[in-house]
Structure 1
Amino acid sequence: MRLTRREWLAAAGSSAALAIAGGLRQARAAAGEPIFKTIPSSGERLPPVGVGTARRYQGAAQDALAQLRETLRVFAAAGGKVIDTAPSYGNAEEVLGGLLESLALRDSLFLATKVSSTGREAGLAQIEQSFRKLRSRRIDLIAVHNLQDVDRQLATLRELKDGGRIRYVGLTTSFSAQHDELAALIRREKPDFVQVDYALDNRAAASSVLPAAQEHGAAVMVNLPFGRSSVFRAVQGRELPAWAADFDARSWAQFFLKYIISHEAVTVAIPGTATPGYAADNTGAATGRLPDAAARRRMEAFIDTL
């Protein structure tokens, strides 16, 4: 079954969306086994496609909450696990916490958030607020967001990890200008996770952050895997190439995500996901074959000519 992003959006939130999601689950089962990636510091395995909540979950009106709730239900039913949020995403933490509580999904998910304050007390206050908003006594991962007050906040996170309140600590950036600094911090601090911007048309992290993470045992969470939608704009009106079937990509979203998660250093990509159709489509990238080195080079050459 091959559907465009536009067709998914038109169906999202309706009974048709549920039928489509069921069809895609059957298609994924036929395509191959689920893919898992390993967190180097623990050996825990995760499905490599998650959900990002920036913009899409903040300020959600009441009529949008039903769609977001169904999105998370479809995501979890399709085998998804990792959900990423942050205090800087408006009220996204609070919205997410309420939705997960209503779905009784918290214990089956890997929940990640961030700290983006300056000063120990301000950082602790923000972290405690995240626990309350997410309605969780333990958070799987908290990362220092965009390297803000990084030494002080990282020390606090390690104390919380030692106390069992969080499971992993990390560092994030969504700015290419911070890649060199992040790579240096990986080598020095050896965090459990790093989060970095990386996409088929934004490959800068592959020359700095990703090698450092692989060398020093940091799991990699990829933000902006669609390049703020730039890759979709680049292929607008184009058919998926026939050779995408060689690695079981059945949509452009899966094409782009499979490129990301096929990198050996990458643990999970977190595309912004706010409709049930997108949740089903995105998680489809986490099954079947992945592009090998030759296919990855072909994908790069393809996008570079557009």
Structure 2
Amino acid sequence: MAQTIDNLLAEIRRKRELAGDIRPTDLSDLLTRLTIGGTRQEDTGGFSLEDLLGLGFGDGGGGGGGRGGGGAAFGGTRAGAELGQLQLLEQLGLEQGFEAGESALDRALRLTLLGKEQGFEAGESGLDRALRQALLATEQKFTGEQSLLGREFEAAESEKGREFTRAQELAKRKDERLRIFSEMRGTDPVRAVLFAMGIGGEGGVGGRFEDLPPIEGARTLGTQTEAGLEALLGGKIRIGQGGVTGLQSPVKAAAAFSAGQGVRGGVGALKDARTLLTSAFGVGAEKGKGRPGMSRDEILRQIKSVTPAGVI
């Protein structure tokens, strides 16, 4: 037991030395340097059993002996000193127990505070999570809106590109139609009028240009052409959606022309008159609306049969 007590006291002494709490008169310091059964002063670091007895251990008359003077039964004997030593160890044990209890309390408080801090951190993390989710939703909404705007912009740009392409194609078709009209007007004036008006007529005069608006001045040109045919043939002649209506037969037209009607209406030149007549009879009218169109050779054959040579 002496060895165990010595070890315990030595451990306590080391702890207090580290804490700077060692004083020369500490009882624990005395007991650390004292072994049970050691009576020589050099073995106890300068303190003998009599020193302990002088301090009051085991002496009923001493103020520091035992709990309530419990060491008086042993007087100033070695047994009293040993009892004092045991009482000192008991007191140290109580102090250690108190320190252990205080550490447990500190630990409990620390754990409680830690739990509260963790709870606060958990709540704070939940708030952060909510904010993060809100920010994420906002970013996703913004990204979606930007993507939609991008698609709408691309669609608008694509539509602009298609409109530009259509405008180019339309301008190209108008230029081509104007070129064809200029060439046609000198050789087939009636068909050129229908073409300028955007009317297909017999044989598809307008063709792929029927969806285009009329060429500027087409209606005026049509009126002038109608007047020229009326001057040559007489009667009421119209050029329009149904083709050329009001035409007589080529034979009657040739007879009337040879009788001197070909000089009225500003159509005095024989070549122009022949071109105008062959164009009108060549176009003709739609079925059910007038005389159908004829080939140029057939028109000339019928005219030749009733007119003197050199007239038409």
Per the normalisation by structure 2, the TM-score is 0.21
Please state which structure has a larger fraction of its residues in strand: 1
Greater share of helix residues, 1 or 2?
Answer: 2
TM-score of the superposed pair, with normalisation by structure 1: 0.21
Q: Larger Rg: 1 or 2?
A: 2
